[in-house]
Amino acid sequence: MIRQLSLLHHLLVASLLFPGVVCGQVAPLIANVSARQITSLDGQWQVIVDPYNVGSIDYRAQPLKNNGAFYKNYKPQSPSELVEYDFDASGRLDVPGDWNTQRGSLLFYEGSVWYKRSFDFAKSPKERVFVHFGAANYKAYVYLNGEEIGRHEGGFTPFDFEITNQIQTKGNFLVVRVDNARKSDQVPTSNTDWWNYGGITRPVTLITLPESFIQDYSIQLQKGSRQQITGWVQLNGSQLQQNVSLRILEAGIDKTFQTDSRGRAEFSFNADLQLWSPETPKLYKVEIASLTDKVTDRVGFRSIEVHGTDILLNGKPVFLRGISMHEEAPTRPGRAWSEDDARTLLGWAKELGCNFVRLAHYPYSEAMLRMADEMGILVWEEVPVYWTIEWENQQTLRNAETQLKEMIERDHNRAALIIYSVANETPISDARNRFLRQLIDDAHSADPTRLVSAALQPSGATQAGRVTMQINDPVGEAVDVLGTNEYIGWYNGRPEDTDKTDWTSKFSKPLIMSEFGGDALFGYHGDVQTRWSEEYQESLYEHQLAMLKRISFLRGMSPWVLKDFRSPRRTLPRFEDFFNRKGLVSERGERKKAFFVLQTFYQALHGAPLSQ
Ligand code: GCB
């Protein structure tokens, strides 16, 4: 029943996102893809750049159904036949990878690119096969052997389609149209401060599974407990009632459960565990086996709670020494996606003295979350509900809800992950408040064990020469942890204005200063009054940190930002050149002066609360 419901839900969502279209088979997300029997489809794909969508619509703007449709991959049958496209002669791009940084002419390109890859595949009769995409930005239209198999909207979450009945032993061709055109009703909307990297930006894999398989599972500590494991296993297939075993041999756990007619088993039992923490990021090998399938994972166990204005990790107050990030590669241009990228970026955060990263402003690759688990770095992850989304638009809300759901489904077993953020810097209105409250409710019900936040904005008032910043956004009532962005010293006033600024909050909740910062061009020097100089940024950090120390309810910070990143909004020649320069390291990885200010501050803080 659950399976049917969730399939129905997917179809409903799909038909809302793409009205008037009947989708192919839409599969529920399969957990922990890298631990399954997989065949990688990564590598060079043939591509056709199609700015006018001539591969999918005709000159009357009607959908193309004939051999002119690029997904047919049709070849002329005679010298006289007119066919106006040819994958074989149109060049190649790497998958995974954004197209913008692989071909100079595509740096600013926004629109459709068709990707094609051919492959053979030997499948045994009882197996099921799925094609899985880590992410494609922003819309993906997927075709196998000339037929549509499904569509997906949202540039940063995974999706898969079942292709058991379509896949052939020889000569399969998979075609994907990826469209990153910005639209005001999308999530994110058309206005952002980051590069709109298009393409199949994360790995593509074929997953082979038995007819009845373990689709997903949750193995986590019960909220508020440090010894009670609570969770569930969900099977998919025709043999839904099975015995399922759960083994964590290192902790002496070996349990068997019976799934019900919906393929679901829920469990709760006590365990004696070494808890995961940034200091000791202990991961256990977990094995889940049904009669027909088996999957292993590495899972950490920790508790995360809010108590008054404190955040408690494993029952003890923790201060989140963080940094905000973008998912840009550390050592080459473009989107990051690999384990190595994750190791380097999180390594820089560790070098800064961080125990926490804010993965702004959209879901990052699964590799990043798994690396955070390994390296012991707490994570805030976020959906791209950014700035001025269409708050009144129900379809936009459904889209945001789906992206949030897909992010939670993928990451709900990662110990490092403690906070879901539902939005960034969104303007207060009734419609926006309703929209965000819905997302907050969704996150709480999809995953009751983690905390929910949003990066809000304060209001300010000046009296007798002092400024009082107040956290009073009505959405503050619904979140567990307050997040606030502020740019005193960059967009507002000068760095020294922080010396006469005090903070108050309407809510008795912990606060994370989710952004502050200013731009500096690496290697550009001047005095502390000179914009764009490393000295200005250094002084801004010194003043900011002195102010932050005086906020009694501050429990963490994630300054903006780890590394300079590309943004089309940043046009100023010499200093910006289409980069946001608020990084503590340059796009080449060079440390700016402010890096060391924050590092010294975090090193002094290590393990200690900030104030009191
Ligand atoms: C913000 C946004 C972030 C921008 C940053 C900036 O408030 O949340 O996405 O990049 O400011 O540099 O202006």
Q: Is the pLDDT of residue 499 over 70?
A: yes
Query: What is the 486 CA–ligand 1 centroid distance (Å)?
Result: 9
> What average pLDDT score do residues 303-307 get?
98
Ligand 1 in contact with 582 (CB < 6 A)? yes
E strand or H helix at 373? helix 366-375
Query: What is the 334 CA–ligand 1 centroid distance (Å)?
Result: 19
What pLDDT sits at residue 21? Answer: 33
Residue the block writes with tokens 């955040």: 311
Query: Which residue's alpha carbon is at the smallest distance from atom 3 of ligand 1?
Result: 193
Ligand 1 in contact with 485 (CB < 6 A)? yes
DSSP string, 96-139: SS-STTTSGGGTT--SEEEEEEEE-----TT-EEEEEES--BSE
Query: What is the 191 CA–ligand 1 centroid distance (Å)?
Result: 12
Percent of the chain beyond pLDDT 70?
A: 95
Atom of ligand 1 nearest to the CA of 491: 13
Query: What is the 193 CA–ligand 1 centroid distance (Å)?
Result: 6
What pLDDT sits at residue 210? Answer: 98
Atom of ligand 1 nearest to the CA of 567: 10
Rounded to whole angstroms, the Cα distance separating 416 from 342 reads 14
Separation in Å, CA 391 to CA 317, 319, 385, 394? 36, 33, 10, 8
Q: Is the pLDDT of residue 1 over 50?
A: no
Give, for ligand 1, the residue of 515, 570, 575 to mutate: max count of ligand atoms closer than 8 Å to Cβ.
515
> What average pLDDT score do residues 348-353 get?
98
Q: Is the pLDDT of residue 10 over 70?
A: no
Atom of ligand 1 nearest to the CA of 565: 10
> What average pLDDT score do residues 57-75 get?
97
Contact 177, 112 (CB under 8 A): yes
Q: Is the pLDDT of residue 96 over 50?
A: yes
Give 169-203 pLDDT, tens digit per residue: 999 999 999 999 999 999 999 999 999 999 999 99
Give, for ligand 1, the residue of 324, 560, 563 to mutate: max count of ligand atoms closer than 8 Å to Cβ.
560
Atom of ligand 1 nearest to the CA of 424: 8
Query: What is the 264 CA–ligand 1 centroid distance (Å)?
Result: 43
Q: Point out the least confidently predicted range of 22-36, 213-227, 484-498.
A: 22-36
Strand residues in 182-309 grouped as ranges (E): 204-209, 213-221, 228-236, 243-248, 253-258, 264-270, 284-289, 294-299, 304-307
Query: What is the 168 CA–ligand 1 centroid distance (Å)?
Result: 48
Query: What is the 127 CA–ligand 1 centroid distance (Å)?
Result: 47
Ligand 1 in contact with 560 (CB < 6 A)? yes
Ligand 1 in contact with 424 (CB < 6 A)? yes
Ligand 1 in contact with 580 (CB < 6 A)? yes
For the record, the structure tokens of 583 come out as 């990084």
> What average pLDDT score do residues 205-215 get?
98
> What average pLDDT score do residues 350-366 get?
98
pTM tops 0.85:
yes
Separation in Å, CA 100 to CA 199, 352, 556? 8, 30, 35
What pLDDT sits at residue 609? Answer: 64
What pLDDT sits at residue 331? Answer: 85
Atom of ligand 1 nearest to the CA of 386: 8
Q: Is the pLDDT of residue 4 over 60?
A: no
What pLDDT sits at residue 607? Answer: 61
> What average pLDDT score do residues 107-115 get?
98
Q: Is the pLDDT of residue 493 over 90?
A: yes
Query: What is the 319 CA–ligand 1 centroid distance (Å)?
Result: 23
Give 539-579 pLDDT, tens digit per residue: 999 999 999 999 999 999 999 999 999 999 999 999 999 99
Query: Which residue's alpha carbon is at the smallest distance from atom 10 of ligand 1?
Result: 193
Query: Which residue's alpha carbon is at the smallest distance from atom 13 of ligand 1?
Result: 193
Indicate the DSSP class of residue 69. Answer: S
> Which amino acid is residue 231, in one-letter code?
G
Query: What is the 567 CA–ligand 1 centroid distance (Å)?
Result: 10
Distance in Å from the first CA to the final CA of the chain? 53
Give 443-470 pLDDT, tens digit per residue: 999 999 999 999 999 999 999 999 999 9
Q: Decide the pairing of beta strands 243-248 and 253-258.
A: antiparallel
Residue 298, strand partner residues: 285
What pLDDT sits at residue 541? Answer: 98
Q: Is the pLDDT of residue 97 over 90?
A: yes
What pLDDT sits at residue 606? Answer: 73
What pLDDT sits at residue 608? Answer: 64
Q: Report the chain's mean pLDDT, rounded to a whole number.
A: 95
Ligand 1 in contact with 486 (CB < 6 A)? no
Query: Which residue's alpha carbon is at the smallest distance from atom 9 of ligand 1?
Result: 193
Ligand 1 in contact with 324 (CB < 6 A)? no
Q: Decide the pairing of beta strands 511-515 and 565-566.
A: unpaired
Give, for ligand 1, the residue of 580, 581, 584 to mutate: max count of ligand atoms closer than 8 Å to Cβ.
580
Task: pLDDT band for 16, please (50, 70, 90 cuts).
Answer: very low
Percent of the chain beyond pLDDT 90?
A: 93
Query: What is the 219 CA–ligand 1 centroid distance (Å)?
Result: 35
